[in-house]
Amino acid sequence: MSAQGSNWGNSGAAGKPANYVSPKIVAVYGVLTALTAAITYASYTPFSPTKGYFNLGDSMVFFSALAFGWRAGAICGGIGSAAADILLGSGIYAPITLVAKGAEGLVAGVIGRMKGGKAWAVALGIGAGGACMITTYFLGEWLLLDVGLGKAIAEIPINIAQVVLGGTIGALLSYYVKKSYPSLTKT
Residue 39 covered by a domain: yes
Instruction: Report if residue 119 sits inside a domain.
Output: yes
Q: How many domains does the chain have?
A: 1
- Cα 43 to Cα 9, 84, 148: the distances in Å are 47, 11, 26
Residue 132 lies in a domain: yes
- pLDDT for 133 equals 98
112 inside domain: yes
pLDDT digits 0-9 by tens, 31-89: 999 999 999 999 999 988 888 899 999 999 999 999 999 999 999 999 999 999 999 99
CATH number, position 176: 1.10.1760.20
Is the pLDDT at 7 greater than 70? The verdict is no
Contacts for 164 with CB less than 8 Å, ≥ 6 apart: 130
Report yes or no on 120 lying in a domain.
yes
The verdict on residue 6 lying in a domain is no
Residue numbers of the domain that contains 142: 23-180
The residue-averaged pLDDT of 8-22 equals 65
Is a pLDDT exceeding 90 seen at residue 102? yes
* Distance (Å, whole) CA 89 – CA 147: 17
- Between 17 and 28, the higher pLDDT residue: 28
